[in-house]
Amino acid sequence: MSPLSRRELLKAGAASAGAVAAPGLAQAATAAVAPAPARPPVVQRVSLQVNGRRHTREVDTRTTLLDLLREHLQLTGTKKGCDHGQCGACTAIVDGRRINTCLTLAVMHEGAEVTTIEGLGTPERLHPMQDAFVRHDGYQCGYCTPGQICSAVAVLDEVRAGIPSHVTADLTAKPALGPDEIRERMSGNLCRCGAYANILDAIEDVAGTRSAGGAT
Ligand code: FES
Ligand code: FES
C-alpha cells in the first residue's frame, strides 16, 4: 500500500472530524431555533383600594399596575406615555408615595391604597392642585397633566415630611420649596407641550411660595 501524501492525509482527517462533529452541531442548531414550549399565563388574584374603593381582580401576573388601572378598572385618567418609566405620565400615588405605575406589577400591590387623578378631586370639587393647574394654564394637550398633578401633590407631601432632593443644600434642615427644588422634584414628569413655567406657577401657588408679582 502506497503511503498517503500530506494533502490526502489532511483531507481524510477533515472528513472524519466533520463526520463526528456534524451530528453535535446539527443538534445544537436545532436546540437554538427550537421555540420554547408555550406556558399558560399565571393568573393571580389581587385586591387593592383605589380612590377609596376596594377592587379585586384576577390578573395575569405580568399585568402592570398601569394596565390594571386602565384596562381592568377603566380608570383611564392615568396615562400611558412611554410605558418604560421615562415620562411620568403614569404617575399615581401608592401608599402615600408617587410611583410610575408602568414599572410595577399589579400583583405586587396586594392591599395597597392607590390614588389616581380621579381620586384627587371631581370636576365640581377640584383638588387645590387641579384648581391651580387650571388657573395657571399648567397644560396644553393635557396628556401629561394627570401624572404632573399626582406628582405635584406628592412633592408637597415629601417636602412636608422633610425628604431632601438632589438639590437640597442642607440635608439636615427641612427643605425649602424654591423653584429649583420644585423643578428637580418634578423632573421625572415630562411635558412635550412645554408647559413647565405654568406648572411651576401652579405648584408654587398651592405651596404658598409664589411671590406677589408671580415671578420666580
Ligand atoms: S408611561 Fe410610565 S413613565 Fe412613561
Ligand atoms: S400638556 Fe401636553 S404633554 Fe404636557
User: Closest residue (by CA) to atom 3 of ligand 1?
Assistant: 85
pLDDT of res. 102: 98
As given in the structure block, the three cell numbers for residue 136 are: 395657571
Q: What is the CATH number of domain 43-120?
A: 3.10.20.30
Average per-residue pLDDT for the chain: 89
Find the angle CA(164)-CA(104)-CA(187) to the nearest 5 degrees.
35
Q: Is the CB of 21 under 6 A from ligand 2?
A: no
Is any ligand 1 atom within 6 A of the Cβ of residue 146?
Answer: no
* pLDDT one-digit tens code per residue, 116-138: 999 999 999 999 999 999 999 99
- Assess whether the C-beta atom of 89 lies below 6 angstroms from ligand 1: yes
**H helices present in 46-190, as ranges:** 65-67, 117-120, 128-135, 145-160, 179-185
Question: What are the tens digits of pLDDT across the range 73-117?
Answer: 999 999 999 999 999 999 999 999 999 999 999 999 999 999 999
Answer whether residue 44 shows pLDDT above 90. Answer: yes
94 sits in which H/E element = strand 91-94
Domain layout of the chain by residue ranges: 43-120, 121-216
Count of C-beta atoms within a 10 Å radius of residue 52: 9
Helix (H) or strand (E) holding 198: helix 196-207
The confidence score (pLDDT) of residue 1 equals: 45
To which CATH superfamily is domain 121-216 assigned? [2Fe-2S]-binding domain (1.10.150.120)
Q: How far apart are CA 24 and CA 22, in angstroms?
A: 5
Atom of ligand 1 at shortest range from CA of 83: 1
- Phi, psi (degrees; rounded to nearest 5) at 162: 80, 20
Q: CA-CA distance, 95 to 122, in Å (whole number)?
A: 21
